[in-house]
Amino acid sequence: MPVLPPDEHVRVLISEERIRERIAELALEIRAQVGSEPVTCIGVLKGSFIFMADLVRALGGPVRCEFLGVSSYHGGTRSTGVVRITQDLRHPIEGQHCLLIEDIVDTGLTLDYLKHFLGGHRPASLRTVTLLDKPDHREVEVDADHVGFTIPDEFVVGYGLDLGELYRNLPFIGVYSP
């Protein structure tokens, strides 16, 4: 277990082992739908980078990787409600089968925005996968096609998710409390 500062606590919500198991299941679900077609995986930075790395390895088959930088938190524990693209796609996705990979769907604002944004790039198909879904906190009705885990309305860190750029390296999903 990583050492945390003495005034902070992270309670394990989803173990490293359970995450690994669920990613294998998600990969099978996704491949069952897309078949052996090449898939362009689009990771939403920074939070999805660990999930994406594990998922693309589990997917197998022909995979391209792209990244979008997006921000709606700006360092705090609550979304600002304003979605900003901080890094655009490097290559065109027109005509490609795409999988948008998110770390967490919280308010729904980012996923809704990105589905419209990427749809404008005219992919052959666009599916979405999120490691975590927090439906009790929705501001916009939007669903991911594939969901790893549904979680309660608590602030979580680890496995790529951060608080002020810290805790991304935790190998599990934990509930943060100061």
Taking the chain (178 residues) in consecutive chunks of 10 residues, what is each chunk's mean pLDDT? 60 97 97 93 96 97 94 59 85 96 94 94 97 93 96 95 93 92
83 domain-assigned:
yes
Residue 58 in any domain: the answer is yes
Asked if the structure places residue 41 within a domain, the reply is: yes
Q: Per DSSP, what are the bridge partners of residue 65?
A: 41
- What is the model's pLDDT at position 9? 86
Q: What pTM does this model have?
A: 0.89
CA angle 2, 56, 146 (to 5 degrees): 90
Tell me, yes or no, whether 100 lies in a domain: yes
pLDDT at residue 71, rounded to an integer: 78
Q: Which domain holds residue 98?
A: 16-152
Most distant pair of Cα atoms in the chain: their distance: 51
The catalytic residue among 54, 106, 133, 162 is 106
Residue 28 lies in a domain: yes
Q: Is 106 noted as a catalytic residue in this protein?
A: yes
Give the closest residue to 160 by CA, choosing from 62, 14, 27, 40.
14
Look at the chain and report how many structural domains it folds into.
1
Residue 168 inside a domain? The answer is no
Domain presence at residue 3: no
C-alpha of 165 from chain center? 16
What CATH code is carried by the domain that includes residue 108? 3.40.50.2020
pLDDT tens per residue across span 23-68: 999 999 999 999 999 999 999 999 999 999 999 999 999 999 999 9
**Residue 167 is assigned to a structural domain of this protein:** no
Q: Phi/psi at 168 (nearest 5 deg)?
A: -55, -30
